Structure 1
Amino acid sequence: MFPVLETNRLTLRQITDQDAEAMFTCFSNDEVTRYYGLENMESIEQAISMVQTFAALYQEKRGIRWGIERKDTKELIGTIGFHALAKKHRRAEIGYEIIPAHWRNGFASEAISEAVSYGFASLGLTRIGAVVFTQNEASNQLLVKMGFQKEGVLRQHMYQNGIPYDTNVYSILKSSE
């Protein structure tokens, strides 16, 4: 059973083929993909493929990705989840994105808080990492606000449109929750 998480304003739920259009809206947007290490989607087929990738992630126990749905409008406004899940080492990396129309409403921090709690309580993680483009000021500030500590910089770690970018590495530990 895919776990469904709830916050005051959001439902974190399984992503289905019905979400492909919302996913396409999200990942065909320059503002979203600019710091994602992913080129813009050009077709709905790419979005359907991403939905399948997220499903496989969970089935193969390599991670979990939720759709972030607003309770009031039932809109899918982004996704959040864990990848690079290493149960033996009790660690995973968190990733997330929100459609720009819904930025600056506190939705990301609400979703991160819930996902981090789930990671520690239900997945048995002791470390949750995050890798963020150094230029992505909003996300860098958000992680620090959420209690993540910056550990360093990975030089030329991710490519975006053929250009290498440095990334910051963050983590939060269960003990520092």
Structure 2
Amino acid sequence: MALRDKIILEEICDNDINGLFTCYSNHEATDILRESIKMKEEKTGVKYVAKIKDALDTVGFITLKRYNSTHSRAEIDF
């Protein structure tokens, strides 16, 4: 089974903070969550947490940013 088949993406929410702490420093994890909230409020992008499918362990995150609804496109950061 390929790695891509083992990872799931879910929109970041408050419940993901502990998983983010396992991958990043407290400051980085807090910033990721804060940025996610701001981007959602401003409708400029969305952050997704990457998890191992079976264990649901957090392994990172990706960001869809600079969302343009007129042209239905966004950039991906990971």
Please confirm whether the aligned pair reaches a TM-score higher than 0.5, indicating the same fold: yes
Return the structure number with greater relative CO, CA threshold 8 A, min gap 6. 2
Number of matched pairs: 75
Matched, 1:52 2:34: yes
Distance (Å, rounded) in 1 between the aligned partners of 2:48 and 2:75: 14
Distance (Å, rounded) in 2 between the aligned partners of 1:89 and 1:14: 22
- Over aligned residue pairs, what C-alpha RMSD do you find? 2.3
Question: How much does 1:94 deviate?
Answer: 0.5
TM-score by length of 2: 0.70
Correspondence for 1:71: 53
**Unpaired segments ≥5 residues, structure 1:** 1-6, 29-43, 97-177
Give the conservation status (yes or no) of the 8 Å contact 2:6–2:54. Answer: yes
Paired AA for residue 44 in structure 2: R
The SS at the match of 2:16 is helix
**Unpaired segments ≥5 residues, structure 2:** none
Larger Cα Rg: Structure 1 or Structure 2? 1
Matched, 1:14 2:17: no
Give the conservation status (yes or no) of the 8 Å contact 1:65–1:79. Answer: yes
What are the Cα deviations for residues 50-91 of structure 1, in whole angstroms up to 9, with x where unaligned?
A: 202112212321111110111122101011131111222333
The change in CA–CA distance for 1:87 and 1:80 in structure 2 (over 3 A counts) is same
Paired AA for residue 57 in structure 2: E
The change in CA–CA distance for 1:82 and 1:16 in structure 2 (over 3 A counts) is same
**Identity level (%):** 28
Give the conservation status (yes or no) of the 8 Å contact 1:14–1:66. Answer: yes
The SS at the match of 1:23 is helix
